[in-house]
Amino acid sequence: MARRAGKLSIFPLLIFGAYAAWFWFSNQETVPITGRSQVVSMDTKQEMALGIQSYRELLSQERILPDSHPSVQQVRAIGRRIAAAAADIDPGFEWEFNVIESSQANAFALPGGKVAVYTGILPIAENEDGLAVIMGHEISHALARHGAERMAMQKLTSLGVMATGVAVSDMDRGQQQMIMGALGVGAQYGLLLPFSRDHESEADYMGLVLLAEACFDPQEAPALWRRMDSHGGAAPPQWQSTHPSSKTRVRQFEQWMPEALALRQEACGF
């Protein structure tokens, strides 16, 4: 008997929907500082262990500046101040700060408090306040558990795509390709990229709060991102990017600035 074309099976989608609802509501956590609800299914200790392992592997492949280097001393001094400001929300990280000799204009922080700054970003930072903006942002990614949240979202997205693939398996090949293609584009531009941009903005805000409470100058944040904009060259439209545009970040920092200045005044007296 010939298979009927165009038949959509609802059952796999119902199964996925039930699982997604259970997964979503049973793995709720709260992001510190912002209070946003997030979905994280990984245990904190497991996440920290993975972060430490990844950090060791990355450092083994790079040229690390010695402890006596002035840039290392500056990065560690800034890192300790921001970590102290985050003490109330720290899940037990063992902070470590290193500087990697590289032309990359980059920095990162992994779960467990493992932070690295590339020398290529130091000229853009220009001063300790600019470097504090960069490090506060990266440290906030780790404190907010953004990596674990992305893994949970990617898991749900992959399962949703699989369920849809099963649901359309009785359709003719052309219909399947059209639906799966549309789903892939929709997931990428309607879910995953906006999700990533939201994480970047959240880390910007959290980092601004932390650096202000650590007595750095929050007014350096928009100045830094103006320098980043000049340094970065051509960039894709924001909707195609994992990060907000530099102009968006400058605007957001300026909106948050009164709060940040008030926090610094309260914490530092100036």
Query: Active-site positions?
Result: 138
Residue 27 DSSP one-character state = S
Query: Is 71 in contact with 128 (CB distance < 8 Å)?
Result: no
Torsional sign, CA 146, 150, 153, 155: negative
The residues pairing with 118 across neighbouring beta strands, listed in sequence order, are: 100
**CA gap 113, 240 in Å, rounded:** 30
Query: Is 168 in contact with 179 (CB distance < 8 Å)?
Result: yes
The residue assigned the tokens 């674990």 is 148
User: Tell me, what amino acid is at 42?
Assistant: M
Which of 197, 126, 150, 184 has its CA nearest to residue 42? Answer: 150
Which of 44, 47, 6, 41 has its CA nearest to residue 25? Answer: 41
Query: Is 167 in contact with 176 (CB distance < 8 Å)?
Result: no
* 3-state class (DSSP) for residue 227: helix
